[in-house]
Amino acid sequence: MNLSFHNKRITGMLTIVPAEEIKFEDEMENYNFSTAKSLKLKAAMGYNARRIVKEGVCVSDLCIHGLNYVFDNGFLAREDIDALILVTQSPDYLMPATSSVIQGHFGLKQDMICMDISQGCAGYIIGIFQAFMLLEQEEINKVVLLNADVLSRKVSKKDRNSSPLIGDAASLTILEKAEGSGRITGNIRMDGTGATALMIPAGGFKLPSSAATAELKEDSAGNFRSLDNLVMKGDEVFNFVQREVPPMIERLLEKAGVGRDEVDYYMFHQPNKFMLNKLADKLNIPREKMPSNIVESFGNSSGVSIPMAITYNLKDTLKDKDYRMCLAGFGVGLTWASLLITIGHLDFCAITEF
Amino acid sequence: MKEKIIKILTEIRPEFDFSEQVNFIDAGMLDSFDVVALVVALDTEFGISIDGMDIMPDNFSSVGKIAGLLQKKGVPE
């Protein structure tokens, strides 16, 4: 599905990362591999360090920290928020929506919309789509898009498919109406037949958490995880990404009438370095235009890896310059989405630690 | 080319004899992480980039199949 938007822009971006850093070598003994093999895995996948939250820290904590940052620095006035979107797969509660919890924490005005969106690696793009659609409304002038996950809390430390790559983080993006700004082109597809490729089987209404679901069991590859843990079928996800993402990007650029070389940066979700490099090669995109340095320094924080790649790599220039960027996210759902957008001349662009 | 492939395979899993005529995947000689390490090593050794769509276990189940992948990328036999 193709989407297009006009007269809207991103005006500020903030990434919130936990202060606690874990090195790959510190956890190698958990992975049921020889040291030599673990180090090969590290080199191929780009696993170096990741940031994870301390026990008990929730998505709302990271988001509240981020909102305090923008309020305290004068980047945003509380009364100007007309919509608060939170994209997450690790909400504080099954109900109510965590965005409502955050609204209540700050005592924001009642005349606004709060909504949670359950989406993962493509969630940042979907959040932008939703924000732009809300901005079509006469009374909505400013949307705060929060994207946050603390999935390290749901990963078995003895699962080398997931544990060495998962990081926690949040991002805050402000989106506004902007007369005369250029056309923004998007693309999204979904395939629910692959819904079990990335999932947390227990903890919802279908299979409530219990002592039985918390029991660690060994899979055929020697990983240990419970039904309460995140499970990722790595081979299926890899094949899905390599099959679907390159043609999606081709469709997006064709629809926008933009050549591959006319894009300054390809800021893609970063599951691991190997997968990203293969995408760059397939698309004939120079690897320096598609940064892969987030997953190796912060871990894979689901959809947040996209805004984190932007703030981490371009925070020194994005306040003064414009860049045409192709954003892409792919994963849980299965979902794959992309966006061609010019980002720049931001009011703020920063990273802060929690 | 085949000697180089066997040398790379042996560096990844030194405990196995890759000159044997067996299916490396079925025999448990290579798992999915070994395949990733193998692709990285082959890309570097031969100056190519194996297509992501070709990274499926069956394509790495024998020296002959791996050689076929390399030839597809223009590496001479």
Using an 8 Å Cβ cutoff, are A303 and A122 in contact?
yes
Domain count, chain B: 1
Q: How confident is the model at residue A163 (pLDDT cuts 50, 70, 90)?
A: confident
Residues in contact with A224: Cβ distance below 8 Å, sequence separation at least 6, in sequence order: A32, A156, A158, A159, A216, A217, A218
CA A323 to CA A275: how far, in whole Å? 24
- Where helices occur in chain A by DSSP H, the ranges are 24-27, 35-45, 59-72, 98-106, 123-134, 234-256, 273-282, 293-298, 305-314
In this complex, how many residue pairs, one in chain A and one in chain B, have their CB atoms less than 8 Å apart?
48
pLDDT score for A322: 96
Q: What pTM, to 2 d.p., does this model score?
A: 0.93
pLDDT at A299 over 90: yes
A 266-325 near B (Cβ less than 8 A): 274-275, 277-279, 281-282
Which of these, A139, A143, A71, lies nearest to A107 by C-alpha position? Answer: A71
Whether B31 is covered by a domain: the verdict is yes
Which tens digit of pLDDT belongs to each residue from A325-346? Answer: 999 999 999 999 999 999 999 9
Name the residue facing A274 among B34, B36, B57 (closest C-beta): B36
Helix (H, G, I), strand (E, B) or coil at B67: helix
pLDDT score for A40: 81
What DSSP designation does A166 have?
B
Question: pLDDT > 90: what percent of chain A?
Answer: 85
Which tens digit of pLDDT belongs to each residue from A133-161? Answer: 999 999 999 999 999 999 999 999 888 88
Which tens digit of pLDDT belongs to each residue from A3-18? Answer: 999 999 999 999 999 9
- Letter for the amino acid at A147? N
Are A278 and B52 within 8 A, CB to CB? Answer: yes
Element holding B44 (H helix, E strand) = helix B32-46
Q: Does domain A1-205+225-354 have CATH number 3.40.30.10?
A: no
Q: ipTM of the predicted structure?
A: 0.86
Name the residue facing A239 among B31, B49, B56 (closest C-beta): B56
DSSP string of A35-103, one letter each residue: HHHHHHHHHHHT--EEE-PPTT--HHHHHHHHHHHHHHTTS--GGG--EEEEE-SS-S-SSS-HHHHHH
CA A127 to CA A129: how far, in whole Å? 5
Give the domain CATH number at B14. 1.10.1200.10
Whether B56 is covered by a domain: the verdict is yes
Opening angle at CA A319, ends A315 and A324, nearest 5: 80
The answer, for A349 touching chain B at a CB cutoff of 8 Å, is no
Which tens digit of pLDDT belongs to each residue from B18-60? Answer: 887 889 998 888 888 889 989 999 999 999 999 999 998 889 9
Instruction: Quote the domain boundaries for residue B56.
Output: 2-72
Name the residue facing A274 among B34, B40, B57 (closest C-beta): B40
Identify any residues that bridge with A149 across adjacent strands, giving them in sequence order: A169
Whether B77 is covered by a domain: the verdict is no
pLDDT score for A235: 84
Q: How confident is the model at residue A189 (pLDDT cuts 50, 70, 90)?
A: very high
Are A281 and B31 within 8 A, CB to CB? Answer: no
So where are chain A's domains? 1-205+225-354
Are A235 and B49 within 8 A, CB to CB? Answer: no
Helix (H, G, I), strand (E, B) or coil at A333: coil
Are A40 and B37 within 8 A, CB to CB? Answer: yes
- Smallest CA–CA distance, residue A165 to chain B, in Å, is 14
Of A24 and A99, which is predicted with more confidence?
Answer: A99
B 22-61 near A (Cβ less than 8 A): 31-34, 36-37, 39-40, 49, 51-53, 55-57
Name the residue facing B32 among A235, A277, A279 (closest C-beta): A235
Q: Is the peptide bond before A96 cis (omega within 30 degrees of 0)?
A: yes
Element holding A231 (H helix, E strand) = strand A231-232
CA A62 to CA A56: how far, in whole Å? 12
